[in-house]
Chains A and B, each alone.
Chain A
Amino acid sequence: MLTNRPLTIVVGSGGVGKTTLAAAAALESARQGLDTLVMTFDPSLRLKDTLGVGDAARDREVEVRAGTRGKLVASLLDARATFDRLVRRYAPDEAAVRRILENRLYSHLSGTLAGVLEYMAVERLFEVATEGRYDRIVLDTPPTRQAIDFLEAPQRITGFLESGALRVALKPWFAPDGRLRVTRRLGFVGRSVEGFFDRLVGLSLLRDMAEFFLAFGPLYSGFHDRAQAVSRLLTSGQTAFVLVTRPEEERVPETLFFARRLVESGHQLGAVVVNMVHPLFDSGADDEGDRLFAWLGERDARGVARFRALLTRHQVLDVPLLPDPPADLAALDTLRALLVERAA
């Protein structure tokens, strides 16, 4: 169901029901007898209530009492903790670790730099996958504005961290130890670009940035190798993506775009789930609500038909809108059964 690969990555824009579907897919996997881990960055931490694991699962793996043949384990990921762990792993010594973790920019960067969360999600997936403790891992990706951001983010962040460009550009201002030079060599180019930057943002920010990148220096090669390994894993036969969307017309272009990009970049797209579909409805009555539900049913049926017509090379599963979003294991199991039925 959804995928038969050891690694399943659930992607889609915000508000499409990724987290709940990831949990339902993991539940089915555990029922089939596979030891399964479901990982999420769900910022509202709602999954912990649905699975009944509580805050204990914050950045740790906690077994869900689901009574399945295989183990079902949940982990609620924390981007900052993952980033800190990476720094610790690749920094040459404790002094280097401290220099980075105590840098004024690091706390901002690790929280706000575009793509950090997404990169940390695949990073964590790689960590756990390498350890081989599970038969299957289901990763629920962070809510992005557009699904495509997830694919591009890791390159952006590693490109940013690895690129020597900034270090080189900042070099004329700083001595090798990261301290500000007292005198600067300023040629014409220096005056136009760097002199301007000095005026634009001031030296204290530039000093912080230079320090950050100098501190990161010894980690570059580690990050680089790691990013390549992560990228290989994501395009390997072990990994499949599940793309979640909704039936509204305005979702069609970005869903198609993302499906195409996934495949073009060598990834395996397992299934496209069209979630929260209103059923067709004809009550015979003509109240305001009857007209609304008839309209919603037709709109969503048209949307699903459109996805099926346009995504002929992928399995398109339509999942009906549930009366209430699943809030406990029993309700999650209902969704799981629905998914199995639609996939059959």
Chain B
Amino acid sequence: MPPDTPLTRRSLLVVTGKGGVGKTLVAALLGRHLASRGRRTLLLEVDPRANLHELAGTPPSAGDLVRVSPTLFLQNLQPAFVMEQVVRDHLRVDALVRRVTKSAIYKHFIDAAPGLKEMAILGHAWRLLHGMGPESAHGIEVVVLDAPATGHGLALLTAPFVVAEVIDQGPFAEMAGQLATFMGDDQQVAVVTVTLAEEMPVQEALELRDGLVERLRRPPALLVINGLYPELPRGRTRRGDPTTELWARRWAMNERELRRLDARWEGPRLRLPLVPVHRGPELVDALLPAFEAGLDDAGVIGADRAARS
């Protein structure tokens, strides 16, 4: 068996996790890291409440693929737009495209066909990586997808399989087949899961892992444990002051959950501290050294490191 392709050499990284655990932050960190190593990287976001641009320090992308730095790109994607692209590719005549996309059957179809919208998101990444469509002119080599918060992102990851099950012919079926093969290839696609060291997020991360093993036959390639409280300084007494008490107990809760993950999560893990920095590019700057050191420790950094040693 060939050795696994390191996480940072794969072409699609899907960042998943419960709402509010710092998924977008981890996507931004991954994007910055990959881009700094010269890989042409796209940060792809599907939440209509765009906020990745805040962390990248650029204006909202408004659906366009915009350049953040020479090797880092950003796009806030509307699934409906991707579906329209597929229609456009097959019809080519603007008047007909409008006719189809404005029709009642089309709107309801998009809503009703299970997995179609989710698949469109993956399809967009796939098309870019395979040099299809006008935006592929940017030469994107790796896509970091900030997955939707609802569900565990499992619906997104398994969408091509669901679509392949319900649609058996035509371009969507073809797309589903290609994407199912792509998503099943762990040399190309990696899932990164984000959690807080708190009971419920950890529980959901464990459930997501089980779901992935069941549906995609593999666990996430990396677990990022975000927002860790620092340990109370040695010799500090916690009694008397309620905030010191809160500090000590939040830290103890983190430790408890870290131990649970140590026992139950096989595979690479990375820890990120809670830092006193407002959300924005400064936060990415502040956490990037710890993040990169963590990638290194977790043993998921790619080929050029291996080549050096």
Q: Does B232 contact A (CB under 8 A)?
A: yes
Bound-state CA distance A75–B31 (Å) is 43
Contact for B115 among A112, A160, A200, CB less than 8 A: A112
The answer to whether B170 and A144 touch across the interface, beta carbons within 8 angstroms, is: no
Q: In angstroms, how far is the closest chain A Cβ from the Cβ of B227?
A: 11
Contacts of B91 in A (CB 8 A): 196
Q: Does A287 contact B (CB under 8 A)?
A: yes
Bound-state CA distance A267–B207 (Å) is 36
Within 8 A of B (CB), among A262-280: 278-279
Contacts of B109 in A (CB 8 A): 166, 197, 201, 209
Bound-state CA distance A163–B274 (Å) is 49
Total inter-chain residue pairs, C-beta < 8 Å: 175
Bound-state CA distance A295–B107 (Å) is 48
The answer to whether A194 and B114 touch across the interface, beta carbons within 8 angstroms, is: no
Closest residue to B234 on the A side, CB-wise? A287
The answer to whether A200 and B170 touch across the interface, beta carbons within 8 angstroms, is: yes
Bound-state CA distance A154–B109 (Å) is 18
Bound-state CA distance A224–B112 (Å) is 19
Contacts of B249 in A (CB 8 A): 323-324
Q: Does B169 contact A (CB under 8 A)?
A: yes
Contacts of A145 in B (CB 8 A): 19, 47, 49, 148-150
The answer to whether A202 and B108 touch across the interface, beta carbons within 8 angstroms, is: no
A287/B253 contact (C-beta < 8 A), A105-B114, A281-B243 known: no
The answer to whether B246 and A321 touch across the interface, beta carbons within 8 angstroms, is: yes
Bound-state CA distance A144–B230 (Å) is 31
The answer to whether A193 and B103 touch across the interface, beta carbons within 8 angstroms, is: yes
A254/B49 contact (C-beta < 8 A), A14-B20, A112-B114, A200-B87 known: yes
Chain A positions 133 through 161: 1 when the CB is less than 8 Å from some CB of chain B, otherwise 0: 00000000001111000000000100010
A289/B166 contact (C-beta < 8 A), A145-B148, A323-B249 known: no
A168/B47 contact (C-beta < 8 A), A143-B19, A201-B167 known: no
The answer to whether A201 and B170 touch across the interface, beta carbons within 8 angstroms, is: yes
The answer to whether A296 and B108 touch across the interface, beta carbons within 8 angstroms, is: no
The answer to whether B275 and A292 touch across the interface, beta carbons within 8 angstroms, is: yes
Q: Does B300 contact A (CB under 8 A)?
A: no
The answer to whether A292 and B108 touch across the interface, beta carbons within 8 angstroms, is: no
The answer to whether A323 and B250 touch across the interface, beta carbons within 8 angstroms, is: yes
Bound-state CA distance A160–B113 (Å) is 12
The answer to whether B111 and A113 touch across the interface, beta carbons within 8 angstroms, is: yes
Q: Does B68 contact A (CB under 8 A)?
A: no
Bound-state CA distance A246–B170 (Å) is 46
| The 9 residue pairs across chains A and B that have the minimum distance between CB atoms | A14-B19, A15-B20, A295-B276, A169-B105, A202-B169, A323-B249, A108-B114, A165-B104, A289-B230
27 contacts between A and B (CB under 8 A): A13-B20, A14-B18, A44-B207, A46-B203, A108-B114, A145-B19, A165-B104, A165-B107, A166-B105, A192-B96, A192-B99, A193-B99, A196-B91, A197-B109, A200-B87, A200-B90, A201-B169, A202-B170, A203-B169, A205-B167, A249-B279, A250-B279, A279-B242, A289-B247, A324-B253, A325-B200, A327-B199
Hey, which bits of chain B sit against chain A, CB under 8 A? 18-21, 47, 49, 51, 54, 87, 90-91, 96, 99-100, 103-109, 111-115, 148-150, 155, 162, 166-173, 198-201, 203-204, 207, 229-233, 236, 241-247, 249-250, 253, 274-276, 278-279
